[in-house]
Amino acid sequence: MVAGDVSSTMHVLFLSVVAWVTVHELDAVHRAEWRFFFAPFAVGDETAYRVYTALHVPAFVLVFWYLPSTTFRVSFDAFVIVHGVLHLLLRDRPGLDFENWFSGLWIYGAALLGAVHLLTVV
C-alpha cells in the first residue's frame, strides 16, 4: 500500500469509521448508555456500568482482529449504518441521552462515513 493510492485512501476511510464509532462508545459511557440496555434487569448501576464497559474489550479485539477482512469491513459498514438508524428511531427512549450535536456528530458521522465506504467498495 502506497500513501496516496486508492487502497490507502479506502483504508484510512474505513479506519475513520472505526475511530468515529470508538469515540461514540466513549461518549456512550459518559452518557450512561448502559442504563438503556440494563433497564429490564435488576442490576445495580455500578455493576451495569462495569459489565457494559468491560464488554467493549472483546468487541474491540474482534474489530481489530478482522480489520483486514473485506467481508468484515462491509458488514461493519452495514452495522454502523443500522446503528445510526436505531439511534434515530430510539432517540426519545428513556436511558438514551444522545440528543445533542456532539453525540450526534459521532453517531451519524460514523453512519455517513460507513455509507461512503460501503458505496465505494461494492
10-residue mean pLDDT series, the chain (122 residues) = 70 96 95 88 92 96 95 97 96 85 96 97 88
Map residue 53 onto helix, strand or coil. helix
Number of C-beta neighbours around residue 84 at 10 A: 22
pLDDT at position 6, please?
67
Sign of CA dihedral 86, 51, 24, 38: positive
Exposure class string for 86-100: b at 16+ Cβ within 10 A, else e: ebeeeeeeeebbbee
pLDDT at position 4, please?
57
CB pairs under 8 A, 24+ apart, for 57-65?
A: 60/22, 63/18
Is 110 within 8 Å of 84 (Cβ atoms)? yes
pLDDT at position 110, please?
98
- In 3D space, the residue among 2, 6, 28, 5 whose CA is nearest the CA of residue 117 turns out to be 6
pLDDT at position 54, please?
96
